[in-house]
A = this chain, B = another copy of it.
Amino acid sequence: MTNIVFNHATVREKADMLTFLRLCSERGLQTVSIWGNEIAKVGETDALSVLHDFGMTVSGYNRIGPFVADFLDRAEAELERAARFEADHVFLFTGGLRDNEKDLGSARRRIEDLVGKVLERARKIGMKLAIEPLHPMLTGDRTVISSLSHANSLCEALGPGIGVVVDVYHCWWDERLAAEIERAGEAGRLFGFHVNDWLIPTRHLLTDRGMMGDGIIDLRGIYSMMRDAGYNGAVEVEIFSTDWWSRDPAEVMDIAIDRCRSLFSKE
C-alpha cells in the first residue's frame, strides 16, 4: 500500500498540531508534514514530545519564505528547527514580484540567487530543500517559479541538496509534465508528491482546492508518471479549502484516506 501523509494545512483550522498528530496516529499514519508557525502555537517542546511519543517522522517542513528583507536570518532558524524535527526536506516559499517590480525575468534571477544562498546554509546544517512550483495563477504574489521545468533547471544549476515536490494542483495542466517528472526522477530529485484536485468551477485562487476525486485532475495518470520516474515515496494530502477547513478534521482525514486508497495503489 502506498504510504499516506497528511500535510497539517489540510485540517489546520480546526486541529492544532497536537490534535493533528493524534488524529494521524489514530489512523495508523507514521509520517506527517508540518508547519513552523503551527509548532510555535503549541510550543516546540510539546510538539516534539508528542511526535516522539507517537513514534512519528516528519516528511516536509513548511517553510522558508517569502524571500523579503531579512528572511535569510529567519531561514537559518527555520532550518535548525526543521533539523530538530528531523524533517526530510524544507519547503521554499519564494514569494512573487516585489512592489512595483515588473520584469519577471529579473525577478526570477533575483529569486534564483536567493535560493542559492539558502542552499549554502541548508548544506551546512545537512537539510534538504524542496522547491514546489506553484500554479501560474500564483506567479505574481506566491512564487515566480511557475513550472516544474523551471524548478528542474534551477536544481540542475545549483547542484546537490535541493529537489522538487510535485503538487498535482499546480502542475496538472502542463504539457511538459510527464517529461519534467521523468527528468526530476532521473536526477533523484523527486522529494514529494502532493495531492488534491481542481474543482470546476474554482471560486478562489488560493482556498478552493478539491478533495481527490471531486475534480478533473487525472490523479491516477500523474501518479503513474511519478512511479514510472522511480518515485517510491508517499502520497501527501494537502488541501487548501475553506470548504474542507470548515468540516470535522477526523472526517476530512477519513474521506481523504479512502480516496487515496482507491486512487493510489502501487499494484
Contact = CB atoms under 8 A, between A and B. Distances in A.
Query: Which secondary structure characterizes the binding site on chain A?
Result: loop
Interface string A125-165: 00000000001110111000011011000000000000000
A200 B150 contact: no
Interface residues of A, number: 32
A104 B173 CA distance: 8
Closest 3 CB pairs of A and B: A139-B173, A136-B173, A102-B218
A201 interface: yes
A218 B104 CA distance: 7
Given A104-B218, A136-B137, A140-B216, 11 more contacts: A96-B216, A97-B216, A103-B218, A103-B221, A104-B221, A135-B136, A137-B137, A140-B200, A146-B175, A202-B205, A205-B205
B102 A140 contact: no
Contact of A102 (B135, B137, B221): B221
Nearest to A199: B140
A172 to B, nearest CB: 7
Given A102-B216, A216-B97, A137 B175 contact: no
Interface in A200-256: 200-202, 205, 215-218, 220-221
A150 B175 contact: yes
B216 A175 contact: no
A235 B147 CA distance: 28
> How many copies are assembled?
2
A205 B137 CA distance: 9
B141 A200 contact: yes
A224 to B, nearest CB: 11
Contacts of A200: 140-141
B147 A175 contact: yes
A108 B205 contact: no
Nearest to A103: B218
A174 interface: yes
Nearest to A171: B136
A194 to B, nearest CB: 17
18 contacts: A96-B216, A101-B216, A102-B217, A102-B218, A102-B220, A103-B221, A104-B173, A108-B175, A136-B136, A139-B172, A140-B198, A140-B215, A140-B216, A146-B173, A146-B174, A147-B174, A150-B175, A201-B205
